[in-house]
Amino acid sequence: MSIGENIKYIQQLKAQAAERSGRSGDDVLLVAVTKLHSAEEINEAIDCGITDIGENKVQEIMDKYEKVKPVRWHLIGHLQTNKVKYIIDKVSMIHSVDSLHLAKEIDKRAAQHGLVMDILIQVNSAMEESKFGITTDQTGDMIHDILQQCPNVRIRGLMCIAPFEDNPDDARVYFAEVKKLFDTYKNIENPNLDFKYLSMGMSNDFEVAIEEGSNLIRVGTSIFGARDYSKKMG
């Protein structure tokens, strides 16, 4: 299947899952995850209606930025503090904030560019050691600290990567836990705490994630095919 056909199919599944949770497909944003895929493939996806793309490495954003048509870029992978400066004026949202230290660097660089950066807090609800993110218990303190210390950062919601399960139903509890946390913040009125996005769900589990309340899915493999990790970008 072509990239365009895959996108159409994902849009269909996304709409059906949204309807199962009492919403419509338009309520769920599809971010196409383009890591290890070329600018040409990304442009093809944009021609097929993709408005938002996600990369997990700063270097790949740098390499492809000039070659890709206008689109919203999302940084979805672990971000090292010393690399914030390279992407601060390129991405529209950073999904992977998991420390005050990182938030403060984003704040500092955003101020230098006269902008306010949208971020999500990455929550590791399954507490997997192999994954980044803070625990659900730590989230309140982290939000409080960022609000106190980072005026050029706007917290737009939460992000979660569930454990990979052969049966995606088994990830449901982790999504549900993050949704519960999301709901406790979503009606707070504060210009720097404006919850809108719950970023959960990948190729393997996005339908379950949507059923549990996700409104932003990050899908790579199901759009572009398997990634070739032997291929170095650049």
Ligand X SMILES: *Cc1c(COP(=O)(O)O)cnc(C)c1O
Q: Does 221 bind ligand X (CB under 6 A)?
A: yes
Residues 54-73: x where in contact with ligand X by CB under 6 A, - otherwise, as a string: --x-----------------
**Residue 190 Cα to chain centre, angstroms:** 22
**Of 38-46, 60-68, 178-186, 200-208, which segment contacts ligand X by CB under 6 A?**
200-208
Q: Using the 8-state DSSP alphabet, how is residue 134 labeled?
A: B
Quick one: angle between helices 100-112 and 136-149, nearest 10?
Answer: 30
- Nearest approach, Cβ of residue 220 and ligand X (Å): 3
Cite the DSSP H helix spans in 21-161.
39-47, 58-64, 84-87, 100-112, 136-149
E strand or H helix that includes residue 217:
strand 216-219
User: Per DSSP, what are the bridge partners of residue 153?
Assistant: 117
Note every long-range contact of 70-73, with CB atoms under 8 Å and residues 24 or more positions apart, other chains counting: 71/42, 71/46
> Considering beta carbons, is residue 152 or 199 the nearer one to ligand X?
199
What span, in angstroms and rounded, lies between the C-alpha atoms of 23 and 46? 25
> Considering beta carbons, is residue 92 or 221 the nearer one to ligand X?
221
Considering only 45, 153, 202, 210, the residue that binds ligand X (CB under 6 A) is 202
> Considering beta carbons, is residue 3 or 152 the nearer one to ligand X?
3
**Of 144-152, 181-189, 207-215, 217-225, which segment contacts ligand X by CB under 6 A?**
217-225
Q: Does 76 bind ligand X (CB under 6 A)?
A: yes
Residues 11-50: x where in contact with ligand X by CB under 6 A, - otherwise, as a string: ----------------------x-x---------------
Burial category of 43 from C-beta neighbours within 10 Å (exposed 0-12, middle 13-18, buried 19 and up): middle
- Nearest approach, Cβ of residue 95 and ligand X (Å): 7
**Of 64-72, 139-147, 179-187, 218-226, which segment contacts ligand X by CB under 6 A?**
218-226
Q: Does 161 bind ligand X (CB under 6 A)?
A: yes
Sites for ligand X among residues 82-111 (CB under 6 A): none
Given phi > 0 = left and psi -120 to 50 = alpha, else beta, which region is 72? beta
- Nearest approach, Cβ of residue 187 and ligand X (Å): 27
Dihedral over alpha carbons 144, 117, 57, 55 (to 10 degrees): 110
Residues near ligand X, by CB under 6 A: 33, 35, 56, 76-77, 161, 202-204, 218-222
